[in-house]
Amino acid sequence: MSVTTPWPVFITGASRGIGAATARHFAKAGHPVALLARSAAPLEALAAEIEAAGGRALAIPCDVADAAAVAASVAKTLAAFGGIGIVINNAGMLEPLGPIAEIDMREWARALAVNLNGPIYVMHATVPHLPKGGVVINITSGAAEHASFGRSAYCASKAGLMIASRVLAVEEGERRGIRAIAFSPGYVDTDMNTLNRANRMGNAGNIPVAELRPPEETARIIHFLTEPEAQDYAGKIVNARDSELRRRVGL
């Protein structure tokens, strides 16, 4: 891949919310985008929308909890776009909701498979193909650092993803110049936060509507973090509420 050509972007959880907004934003900036999610129909609709606007998009139905499916999706992206330069690990789920002593352990295992194993599978499959200076952004959450009643699977999986991001930065930063960033978007107006607000266990459901930010704003921040001028965020845990970050993005 040429360093002067916008790098292909590999986005999980791309069918809605932050993932879809991020895909639109990168495509508008000239990046080919590989769109991954479990549901084929919304992915294909988004890919068609992007291509109708003059962009390049590839819809790949994929369950990130399936390592073989992730590897196959990476192979399809490489065949279509000739490389991958940016990875956005956005796929995630909030459930199961409830006290540890009461939740279904099969649902717990599923959440960890999607929220933690999935991003690890994606990094395992994509990082060997990233060019020098490639970027991996893992979407984490404030829940990674703060216990929240009834959300043990979400909190634990996001905490695991946060430290895995830092490990990747240590492993690949100096020797290959790959930037790994754990990014917490805060309260975004997505289906997940609609569910979060509807569930009143503890304080997590008390998210003021006024604090919900549009997914398009989050997409702008993610795009900025992949740019050369954001090199100083490599290996860090980044929060969308950070005033200096917002100033640099122009928000």
Q: Catalytic residue numbers?
A: 154
Residue pair 53/71 in contact by the 8 Å Cβ criterion:
no
* Distance of alpha carbon 43 from alpha carbon 70, whole angstroms: 16
| CB environment 205-226: b (16+ within 10 A), e (fewer) | beeeeeebbebebbbbbbbbbb
Residues near 118 by beta carbon (within 8 Å), at least 6 away in sequence:
12, 64, 65, 70, 89, 91
* Distance of alpha carbon 72 from alpha carbon 87, whole angstroms: 15
* Distance of alpha carbon 153 from alpha carbon 108, whole angstroms: 6
Of 155, 136, 93, which Cα lies nearest the Cα of 236? Answer: 136
* Distance of alpha carbon 14 from alpha carbon 43, whole angstroms: 7
Reduced to 3 states (helix: H, G, I; strand: E, B; else coil), residue 16 is coil
Q: Helices 17-28 and 40-52 meet at what angle, rounded to 10?
A: 20
